[in-house]
Amino acid sequence: MTDDAELTASFTELYGGAPEGIWAAPGRVNLIGEYTDFNDGFVMPLALPHTARAAVARRTDGELRLHSTDVPGGVVRLRVDELTPNEGHGWAAYPAGVVWALREAGHPVTGADIQLTSTVPTGAGLSSSAALEVVTGLALNDLFGLGLAPADLAVIAQRAENAFVGVPCGVMDQMASACCTEGHALHLDTRDLGRRQVPFDLSAHGLRLLVVDTRVKHALGDGAYAERRAGCEEGARLLGIRTLRELPYEELGAALDRLAEAGADESVVRYVRHVVGDNQRVERVIALLDAGEVRAAGPVLTAGHRSLRDDLRVSCAELDLVVDTANAAGALGARMTGGGFGGSAIVLVEEERADAVTKSVLEAFTSAGYGTPGVFPAVPSAGARRLV
Ligand code: ADP
Ligand code: MG
């Protein structure tokens, strides 16, 4: 944990001059709408209080210097005009990719000294990578006067991760980090990036949303993502539509019959059912939040988990244990969040039951012989911003 003064001091020690400012960008959890963002569908993330922060100063000599307080090793020095996709660089590829993507888009970024630090747990499905990208993008946007809106920065950050780092992610994580606001979840339509801030004031309703970081990551994940993505594309192709977003929930049953008749693999049938069902669940949760019936969203979350477990098959024993234990201990609902195969789950619970539910989950993990998960409340927080 480094405060802003410490970040300034470490920047100054590292680079021999003061930073021009400090920026922050949060990690996120997705409330509902999973594996929908590469199908032009709906997602509904909220920003966490956990942030990546960057102390930054411009350079005009073409040098890009990167350091993170969270990674052992010295300063990574690169030339902005020699940045090339997929050349490694480890963690530094995320911020370097943003510089590359900005320059590719014609923005005059002539170099920078950057000191990063983050409280977003990495690899927990909470988007530490997007936080790093968005904070870098926002700082450079401000310092070089690029005039990009938060959503533009999110698209630049996604391009950095897709094309420079080489991770085929959708746009949800970056949009959440860039565009979320305090006390709200973000309804994002990934087809046209249309969005609405949906009031989600948990404490006003006497509720809590717990994040349970299982601290496991099963190796299966990467290949499985590509396989699900290909399966969804195959489903859309067989149905003669561009993406699964074009299939209304009301036509799902008939479409699944058509897929079976067309000889689709049974996995494709399951993937289509999940994606179209989860888009519908996003709409249901929004309607409930708008009506002030936040508690009623709990069972929708649990239904989403079942779909991810049984139809998409991206859950794992640890995530299932969180969901089953939390629900048995009186939670309103729970589901895995993010890509699955480990990472985090979320639990919607009455404030006064939060401690008991947490205790049950911790005990269940001990009994199962798993490591201790991290548990903390997800308070819907602000998106990326300048701090100093
Ligand atoms: P997630 O985004 O779910 O946390 P990813 O695998 O997408 O997981 O991104 C994690 C990677 O992001 C880390 O392996 C590291 O390369 C980079 N990263 C995240 N936070 C930091 C940090 N504070 N300092 C340096 N690199 C970081
Ligand atoms: Mg990530």
- At residue 89, the pLDDT reads 93
Residue type, 110: T
pLDDT value of residue 1: 58
Domain ranges of the chain: 4-199+382-386, 202-377
Vertex 341 angle, CA 286 and 288, to 5°: 10
| Nearest-angstrom CA–CA distance, 231 and 290 | 34
Section 22-34 average pLDDT: 98
Q: 79, 64 in Cβ contact below 8 A?
A: yes
Probe residue for ligand 1, chosen from 71, 132, 216 as the CB with the greatest number of ligand atoms within 8 Å: 132
Can you tell me the distance from the alpha carbon of 76 to that of 92, in angstroms, rounded to the nearest whole number?
7
Nearest one of 112, 143, 128 to 174, comparing CA atoms: 128
- For residue 357, the model assigns a pLDDT of 98
Task: Average the pLDDT over 252-278 and give the result.
Answer: 98
Secondary-structure class of domain 202-377 per CATH: alpha beta
DSSP-derived 3-state class of residue 206: coil
* Token digits of residue 86: 């997929």
Nearest alpha-carbon partner for 370 in 254, 185, 216: 216
Average pLDDT, the chain: 97
Does any ligand 1 atom lie closer than 6 A to the CB of residue 134? no
| Locus of tokens 């199908």 | 39
The fold of 4-199+382-386 is Ribosomal Protein S5; domain 2 (3.30.230)
Instruction: State the pTM of this model.
Output: 0.96
Tell me: the pLDDT tens digits for 216-231?
Answer: 999 876 789 999 999 9
Q: How far, in whole angstroms, is CA 37 from its chain's centroid?
A: 11
What is the residue whose two structure tokens read 């404490």?
A: 203
- The response to whether residue 341 sits with its C-beta less than 6 Å from ligand 1 reads no
Q: How far apart are the two ends of the chain, measured CA to CA in Å?
A: 17
81 C-alpha vs ligand 1 centroid, how far in Å?
Answer: 24
Q: What are phi and psi of 313, to 5 degrees?
A: 55, 55
Tokens of residue 121, six digits: 């747990």
What does the DSSP assignment read for 138-183?
Answer: HHHHHHTT----HHHHHHHHHHIIIIII-----SHHHHHHHH--TT
Answer yes or no: are the C-beta atoms of 190 and 36 closer than 8 Å.
yes
Average pLDDT in the 158-171 region? Answer: 94
For the segment 132-149, the average pLDDT, to the nearest whole number, is 98
Q: Which atom number of ligand 1 is nearest to the Cα of residue 122?
A: 4
Question: How far from chain centre, in Å, is Cα 130?
Answer: 7
Residue 378 has a pLDDT of: 97
Catalytic positions: 173
Answer whether 38's CB lies under 8 Å from 339's CB: no
Domains 4-199+382-386 and 202-377 share a fold: no
pLDDT tens, residue by residue, 57-114 = 999 999 999 999 999 999 999 999 999 999 989 999 999 999 999 999 999 999 999 9
Q: What is the mean pLDDT of residues 313-322?
A: 98
